[in-house]
Every structure is written in C-alpha cells, then in structure tokens.
Structure 1
Amino acid sequence: MKTSKTAFIALLGAIMGQCVQQAAFCREIDLTSKWNDKIALENPHKGWYQHYFDNHINRYLAAKDSDLLEFPGMDHLYLRLSWAYLEPQEGQFNWQVIDKVIDKWTAKGLKISFRISCRETSTDRIEQQYATPKWVVEAGAKGEFWYKGKKTGPEGPWEPVYDDPVYLEKLENFLKAFAARYDGKPWLRYVDIGSIGDWGEGHTSSGSRTRYGYEQRKVHVDLYCKYFTKTQIVTSDDFVYTIEDLDDREKIHRYMLSKGITYRDDSILVNYYIGAYPDTFTVRSPEWFADVWRNKPTVLELEHYGGVRRLGNWTGKPDSSLAKYGKGKSGADFMRGAMEILHATYIGFHGYADVWLAENPELTIELLNRCGYWLFPHSVTVPDTLRPGRSYKMRLTWENRGVAPVYHPYILKVRMAGPKTADFEFEAGCQRWMPDPPQTVYPESYKLEVPPNLPPGTYALKIKLYSTEEARDVLLALDPELLDAERFYTVTSIVISAKQR
C-alpha cells in the first residue's frame, strides 16, 4: 500500500505541476497595439556609415560635428585612404593621420571601418598619384602610369602590378604593422580588402584593365586573413566579378566564404548599372550576397549622391538612365530594393551627411530601421499572480522585420518594479530570429525565479534587450512612452502574493 500511495502522490504532484505550468501561461498581453514603426531606432551593430576620407584626405569631411552626431543611426565612419598617407617612408608610419579621426569620433560614440587603397585615379597630391608609396616603386616594384586603359606617362596615376613580389613584400610589411595597431579594437567594425584595383575595389577599369585571376587574388585574401584575425574582413563584389574564368570566380568566392569574409556592393545607382541591372536595383551579383548574409553582415554603398542627382537618377528626370530603365521607380526605390536583395546591415553613400539628411529625412529613418535587424515583440505571456520563492515561465513572442539577422548575442533584462525591485537576465535567443520568411514569429520562454523575500504588492513588469559587448540598450519598435528612465519598456503589471507559511 505504501508503494501504491507513494505512486499516487507522485502522479498527483506531476499533474499539479503540469497545471501550474499551464497556469503560468494563462495571461497573454498583446503588444501589437503598442508598436511604433516610425521612430528612428539607433541600435548597436547596424545603421548608417559616413565616407570620411573618401579616397582622398579632404573629401566628404563634416563641416560641423552635429552633421554626423545628429544623423539618425550613424553607426561608423568609413575611412578610405591610400597606403601612401600612412607609410610615407619604409617602416616610418604616420598613424596620426587616422588616429586623430579615430580618437575624436570614437570618444563621441561612433565606430570605425577601413579601406586602405593602393591605387587612386587623382593626381593632385603625391599620395594620390602614388597611392602605393613612391618608395615602393623606387624599391623595384613593377607598375606603370595608367588611366582608363591608356598609359599616361609620369603625370598620371601609378598602378602597381598586383602580383609583383616586391609590391607584395612591402604590402605585407604594411598590413602586419597596420593590423598590429588596429586589429580587434572594440570600435573597429570591419576592414576591406583594398590592395587590388582602382580605389581598392578589386577592378582595374579606370587603370590598366589588366585581369587578375584566382591565384593572384588568393594571395591578397591570405595576407588580410593572416593579420586581421579578430576583425570582420569585407571585400567588394568586384573583387570576384572581374575574374574572367567563371570557375575561378566561384572558386575564390567559395574560398572567401571558408575564411569568413563577407561582401559589400559599391555600385548601387551607378549610371551604367541602372541600364544593365534594373530588375535587381543595380545589384549585379545577388547570388554571392545570398551565400553570406545569414551568417555575416553585408554592406551597401550608394554611388556619389551628388553625381546621382546631377544625372537625374535620384528623381528620374526625363532622359536620365533611371527614367529610361527604372520602370517608374525612384532612386529611393532602388536603394530600398538593393537593401532588400543584399540584406544589408550597414548602409552608406558617398557624399555629405547634412545634404543627404536635409533632402531625405524620412527615407533616412525608414532605411535605418529596415537595415540589419528590426525587432517587434508581439506578446508577453505571464501569470497574473506570482508567489515568492516559486519558478514561473514567461514567454515573449518576437518578430524581426529587418532585412538581416541579429548577428550578436543580446541579453534580455526583465525587471519587476514595485514595493521592491527584482531583476533578471537571460540569453535572449535573438540570433535565431531570422527575417525570412516574412511575418515569422519566434516564441521564447524565460524562467523567472521569484525571490523568496520579495514583498507582496503590484509590480510593473519591464523588459529590455541589452548588448554587453557594446554596453548599449537595444531599442524595440514599441511606443517610446513605455520607456522609463533606465530605458526599460513597461509591458504589463503583475501581482506578487504574500508568501505562504
């Protein structure tokens, strides 16, 4: 009889336990009525970037700090500058050129990314004409003066032979020193492979138009991977596309995937591309981005905004390429479409931030929210009444309406605020919240261990996501009126009952 009675009690306990678990999900609070998809959400690991040094020491600098600091969702400065500025003599480095920018803007909360180029097309400064430093030429590196397929003579921009042994030796020494100084810095978003091609884009269309294949490009990939072991490496899709042999294209693409390298598209709304690739919004190689975006962030770069406007391709002026081939779409539509195809986490343009924002204030916020992740909590499920010393499941249902995943782990912070305060932290599970298929929701359960000494009363239940890596809150697409002074969202109220004796 004892055994039978014990079994009965155990069975009864199991049934009651199931009932308690079911009761823990008895009240679902709908949060959809509290959504706000119009406000700018400035969040970590996503957003706008500004070309600051745009293949020239003087290009696209901000007239005043507020041009960048008040730009919604400005995440980082993209420093595109030639090697010659940083190593004017062999082994003598002028890091101050970029350090003064880094020190100033990282202190104000912005991040940094790099492309160090080895070939520019302007000649107004020695560092432009010889983007690969002149001392490399004098050391015996092979190269010629080229511009748009023609040799120019010594007045033109110099282009190295990108597989020349002397060039590669000096380049490796520079990359070793560059990475030793900057690799893995907490403010460094990514570094581009910039050592082949015009402006570091991987092609030579404005220079010799020499084709470089798999083996030659692999050397450059390996150099960056050898020294940048802690930083995301990015390359232009041109780096792959300009390989003539299709098998070698696929081979270098697969090789870079194996190394964890991701892509940027530098050609959105380039005039030629509007006619050539209108159905993909000037994205030429969507298949390569399709292979990386689920695991690595991708980057969108709009053509020089001033040039786009001048050619009539922003508004679709009569006789513009956009009017001819754009099927009634605007430049903004092309940028939206390109961002969707690329699944871009970081978005930018060549140009001045204040000019862009003055002309595109609503689009700036729209694209900021859609790039990367954009998180909407649908509901929270929690009991009306909780007892001290007991465990309960709280369930939150999430949707990611951005174009990309959350690539970094975030913490869910839960707070019960009433007669006393109880705080909880959980792994949010956010890296599982994929943006496709659209409208997919992700239920996540979190175990609340109610402190045994929590006094009875009515408590506000509050939540927020938090990036420990960046020490920043992750804002949600909820009404900002729900935010308290510590940027918790109040989602409902609960009752803590008196502790049973």
Structure 2
Amino acid sequence: MTKIKNYAFAFCAVLLFVAELSAQQLIRTRPIEIDDVLTNPGKGFMTFQRFNGDNLNSGNGWTEGLTIDYQEFDGDLTNEGYPDTTIAYYRVYWKYIETADGKYNWELLDRALYTAKSRGQTLMIRIAPYGNDSKQDVPNWYRKMVDPNHEWKSPVPKWAVNPEDPRYAQYFGRMVRALGARYDGHPNVEGIDLAIVGAWGEGEGSQLLSKNTMQLLVEAYTESFTKTPLIALLMDEKTNKYASSLADIGWRVDCIGDLDFWAAEENGFAHMYDLYPQRIHNCGVREAWKSAPLSFEICGTFLRWKENQGYDREDVAYILNESLKWHISSFNAKSSPVPEEWKDLVDDWLKKMGYRFVLRTIAYPEYTVPGEMVPYNSWWENKGVAPIYKDFLLAIRLTNEKRTEVFITDADIKSWLPGDIIYDDAIAIPWDMPNGTYQMQVGIVDPQSHEPKVNLAIEGRDNEGWYSFGEIKVKKSKYGGRK
C-alpha cells in the first residue's frame, strides 16, 4: 500500500510540474540579421598555389601545376585586393608527385597541408597528368617507358600520352590509389579533383576514351576516396554519369567568365553560352549540388576580364549570377586581385555563394529545473545557394560563472538546403546543474572539439564564436528538482 501511495505522489508531482511548465511564459527571440561578408569553412574564394597572407600574382597571369614557391610569412593573413579565404587550392603535375616508378614525394603535399592549416585553410588538390609543353610532361620514367620519342604538338594537345595504352590507367591509377591510401579522410583535405586526362587535367578528349579505360580511371578515385569529397571536372556525358553512379560527386568547371575569349577564332563559341548550360544538363549533374560541392575556376583572371576582354559591370554581374544559378560553393580566382570597381559585386556574390545561415526565431521556456527537458522551437533560413557539406553539428550552450554545458542536437544541417528550415528539439538539463541564470547560446560546432566553426549571419557573436539569444533560469521546483 505504501508503494502505491509513493507512486501516486510521484505521478501527481509530475503532473503538477507539467502544469507549472505549461503555465510559464515562453521567451521568443528574433535575432537581428547582419549583412556582412562571412568567411566560413568550405566556401568562398580560394587562394591558388598560395596561402592566406601571401602576395598575389603580379600582373594578370598565374602559375600552373608547378611546385609551390613558398613566400616568407609575416604573420598577417590579409590578402590585399582579394577576399579572405578558408581554402587553398593546389594543382600539381603527376611528375612532381611520383618522381620515380612507385616512389612518391608526399612531403610536397604534407608541407602544403601543414602550411594551409597554419593559415586557417584546408587544401583542395588536383594531381594533373600533364600540362601543355615538354616541361609539364608526364613523369620522366613513364615517358621513357611508353614513348621516349614523343613530339609535342601545339597549341594544346588532347593527349600527352596514349591513354588507351593499358599502362596509363595502370600507373596513373596506381598513383591515385596511393594518394587515397594516404589522404582519404584527412581532416585538412577539402576535396580532391577527379582528373583523368587532358592538359592540366581538364578532361580534354575524355569522350574519346574507351569504356574500359574511362571506368578504370574513374574507379581509381571513387574506390580510393570514400571519405574526402570528390569533385569531377565537367567532361562528357558517359564519364560524369558513370562517376555519379558510383558516389555522390560534385563537379567543377575551369573557365567561368568566358563570354568571348576565343569567339573570333571559334565561330562565336563561349563556354558560358555554348558549353556549360548544355553540359550541366546532358551530364546529369543538375541536382548534384544537393549532396556534393561545386567548385568553379575563373577563365583567365579578373584583370584579364577588365584589360583584355573589356568586360563592364553588366558582364561581371551576369557571370556571377549564372554561377549562383548553378549553386557554386567555392571559387578559384587564381590569386589575382579583384578590381576595386567590381569589389561590391564580388562582396554581394560572396554573401550568396555556398551556405549562409540565419536564425530567424527561437522560442523556449523562461525557466527550468535540473533533470528536466527544455523544449525549443526554431526557424532558420539558409540564404545561400547550397547546403553545407561538412559534418558539423548544431549545438546549444548554457553558460554562466558557475557552469557551462554544451548540448549537441541531432539536427542534420547538411540537409539544410536554401530556404526555410524548421527545427524543434529539447535539451536535458543535468541533475547537478547549479541554480542560476544562464546565457542561452547557439553554434555550429566541430564534431570532435565542440568548438564553433561557422559564422552565422546574425548579431550576438562572442569571442569564442557562440551566439547569445537570451537567458534561462535554472531553479529548484517546489515539486522536486535539485539545487
């Protein structure tokens, strides 16, 4: 009989506590949105063959496929005339990676990864099979093996070697697999370009590959990189569709901005009008952005757009808007400066590129007690053109001078596509949580350190990267609970 009375008392206490919670006032907060350019992981501009704080390329040219010429670093991460970045892009020829048959110069990439991390960046990598002259050839040992008397043809040959020679897929594929064995899942590798043939690895002539050769080259990447994102050059229908059938793969193009670069010699052809819209559709990659990143590269440089092509603001705005329509996340401007008169266009572009999270509204009870759940309702908006692709976590933090507690939610923020997101959840207050008034904060955090990694487009950010949105009282209930 005593047990029954105790259970009845406990049940009544729970009912009274629920009634107490339902009677209390909800705190409803609407954070103030900001219009700043936000520098965030996995999106925005990239440095090219350089790192944050390095001098940009002089003039309107750039370096291509060579080893990095490391600059002396003075501690200032600013890129003068160029946006802040979180990604460094390194493109290097096969010959520099595999210096002898089966001998890999990993120190080349290790140093680049270390430097990028020290400058607040991750590293995106392409190992290109060759460039467009004898100094940018395949590895010497491979050339001697397959075709020691090869003569180069200008201006840009489709092949520096015969890709249908089975040794090409064998040895280039072996290098790719060795790359994956060493770097797949590396926390500081942003992504790997799926490059199989053509000068600079841009895929020229991929449509001429036999099915067997194409599949062997593609599979070298998809079987070796199962954790690190792959980004395939937009090549041809059979190649891109085959790659996409094996994994969630992003795509990239390397001539964003070509409105008339070679139009006079090529019957008016321009990549932005006559190739990219059609190939995006035909290669079946229109929806790839929902699950994998898209990374584009400028055609020439911004200074060439201005000085050689004579582009005006209307031309630049058209190019940038097309890339947004295609759901761009990151951009390689080849570490060449942005003309001052276009800076406002680029800033507006950066605000839309990739993801941009705004917390619109969050509502929660004005107080709680130890051992109880605190429900909350939230409305978010992704004002960018793509989701976030990193395995970051949404977290709530309660903090005051006595105690700080971080609560990891089960929100799948990688599914937060552009537009509205409704996320409702609850956090469990520990039984030993001291009484007091706590700041309620939100952050998107690293899965290991639980430290904030993403800047939100709202006010309230503290020095650690958390965003305060209100206060909550933790107190002892007259029906139970603990101090």
Q: Given the superposition, is the C-alpha separation of residues 270 and 330 from structure 1 closer, same or farther in structure 2, using an over 3 Å criterion?
A: closer
- Alpha-carbon contact 1:376-1:398 (below 8 Å) kept: yes
Range 11-20 or range 295-304, more displaced: 11-20
Aligned mate of 1:488, from 466, 469, 482:
466
Q: 1:301 aligns with which of 297, 302, 308?
A: 297
* Alpha-carbon displacement from aligned partner over 1:252-290 (angstroms, at most 9, x marks no partner): 514434323221122211244896465799655333442
2:355 corresponds to which letter in structure 1? Y
User: Which residue does the alignment assign to 1:28?
Assistant: 28
Question: Quick check: 1:269 aligned with 2:257?
Answer: yes
Q: Out of 376, 379, 400, which is 1:394 matched to?
A: 376
Unmatched segments (≥5 aa) in structure 1: 151-156, 241-248, 317-328
Quick check: 1:330 aligned with 2:315? yes
After superposition, what is the alpha-carbon deviation per residue over 1:411-430, rounded to whole angstroms, capped at 9, x for unaligned? Answer: 33333334633413122514
User: Are residue 169 (structure 1) and residue 170 (structure 2) matched?
Assistant: yes
1:374-393, aligned counterparts within 5 Å?
374-393=356-375
Residue matched to 2:39? 42
Aligned to 2:266: none
Q: Does 1:344 align with 2:353?
A: no
Deviation at 1:378, TM superposition (A): 0.8
> 2: distance between equivalents of 1:101 and 1:264?
22
Contact 2:231 2:293 in 1 (8 A): no
AA paired with 1:100? R
Asked if structure 2 preserves the Cα contact closer than 8 Å seen for 1:419 and 1:455, the reply is: no
Aligned to 1:285: 279
2:440 corresponds to which of 452, 457, 461? 461
Shift of 1:58: 6.8
For 1:80, the aligned partner's letter is R
Q: How far apart in 2 are the matches of 1:477 and 1:58?
A: 38
Change (3 A) 1:280 1:387: farther
User: CA distance change for structure 1 residues 30 and 170 in 2, over 3 Å: closer, same or farther?
Assistant: closer
Deviations 1:55-85 (A, max 9, x none): 3327897786678655644122211111112
How far residue 229 of structure 1 moved from its aligned partner, in angstroms, is: 3.6
> Is 2:56 aligned against 1:56?
no
Check if 1:405 corresponds to 2:387: yes
Look up the equivalent residue of 1:431 and give its one-letter code: I
Equivalent pair of 1:394/1:448 in contact (CA under 8 Å): no
Check whether the contact 2:28–2:363 (CA below 8 A) recurs between aligned residues.
yes
Q: Does the aligned pair in 1 maintain the 2:379–2:423 contact within 8 Å?
A: yes
Residue 222 of structure 1: CA displacement? 1.2
Q: Does the CA-based 8 Å contact 2:89-2:124 persist in structure 1?
A: yes
Does the 8 Å CA contact 1:300/1:346 hold for their aligned counterparts? yes
Cα separation, partners in 2 of 1:141 and 1:227, compared to 1, 3 Å: farther
Aligned to 2:65, what secondary structure does the other structure show? coil
Q: How does 1:83-482 map to 2 (within 5 A)?
A: 83-123=94-134, 126=135, 128=136, 130=137, 132-141=138-147, 145-148=152-155, 159-204=160-205, 211-237=208-234, 239-240=235-236, 249-250=237-238, 252-272=240-260, 276=270, 283-287=277-281, 288-305=284-301, 306-315=303-312, 329-338=314-323, 340-352=324-336, 355-356=337-338, 360-418=342-400, 420-427=402-409, 429-431=411-413, 434-436=416-418, 438=419, 440-449=420-429, 451=431, 453-456=433-436, 458-468=437-447, 472-479=452-459, 482=460
Give distance in 1, aligned partners of 2:213 and 2:260. Answer: 28
C-alpha separation in 2, matches of 1:67 and 1:213: 50
Q: Distance in 2 between matches of 1:23 and 1:363?
A: 51
Quick one: which amino acid aligns to residue 306 of structure 2?
A: R
Shift of residue 23, structure 1, vs aligned partner: 4.9
Task: Confirm or deny: 8 A CA contact 1:409 1:427 kept in the other structure.
Answer: no
2:167 and 2:190 map into 1 onto residues whose CA distance is 30
**Uncovered stretches (5+) of structure 2, i.e. residues with no partner:** 51-62, 264-268
Distance 1:176 1:453 in 2: 51
User: Aligned pairs, how many?
Assistant: 450
SS at 2:289's partner residue? coil
One-letter amino acid matched to 2:89? Y
Q: In the alignment, residue 163 of structure 1 is paired with which amino acid?
A: E
Give me the whole-angstrom Cα distance separating, in 2, the residues matched to 1:169 and 1:277: 32
Q: Which deviates further from its counterpart, 382-391 or 52-61? A: 52-61
1:146 maps to amino acid: K
Q: Are the equivalent residues in 2 in contact too, given 1:144–1:158 (CA < 8 A)?
A: no
TM-superposed deviation, 1:189: 1.2
Q: Deviations over 1:158-182 (max 9, x none)?
A: 7111121122232233233333333
How far apart are the structure 2 equivalents of 1:22 and 1:256? 50
| Alignment partners' CA distance in 1, 2:347 and 2:448 | 25
Kept after mapping to 1: 8 A contact 2:255/2:300: no
Give the counterpart letter for 1:115 in structure 2.
R
2: distance between equivalents of 1:213 and 1:41?
Answer: 45
Alignment check: 8 A CA contact 2:259 2:273 kept: no
What secondary structure sits across from 1:474 in the alignment?
Answer: coil
**RMSD, matched Cα:** 3.7
CA distance in 1, matches of 2:220, 2:477: 64
User: CA separation of 1:25/1:361 partners in 2, compared to 1, >3 Å: closer, same or farther?
Assistant: farther
Please give the TM-score of this superposition, normalised by the length of structure 2: 0.80
Q: In the aligned structure 1, how far is the partner of 2:231 from the partner of 2:453?
A: 27
- Give the secondary structure class of the aligned counterpart of 1:444: strand
Q: 1:250 to 1:420 in 2, by over 3 A?
A: same
Residues of 1 paired with 2:408 and 2:78: CA distance? 32
Query: In the alignment, is the contact (CA less than 8 A) between 1:387 and 1:497 conserved in 2?
Result: yes
Q: Give, in angstroms, the shift of residue 35 of structure 1.
A: 1.0
Please give the TM-score of this superposition, normalised by the length of structure 1. 0.77
Distance (Å, rounded) in 2 between the aligned partners of 1:86 and 1:379: 51
1:107 to 1:424, Cα distance in 2 relative to 1, 3 A: closer
Secondary structure of the residue aligned to 2:288 is coil
After superposition, what is the alpha-carbon deviation per residue over 1:187-246, rounded to whole angstroms, capped at 9, x for unaligned? 111111223012101114xxxx98335443222101222333432222111x22xxxxxx
- Letter matched to residue 341 of structure 1: K
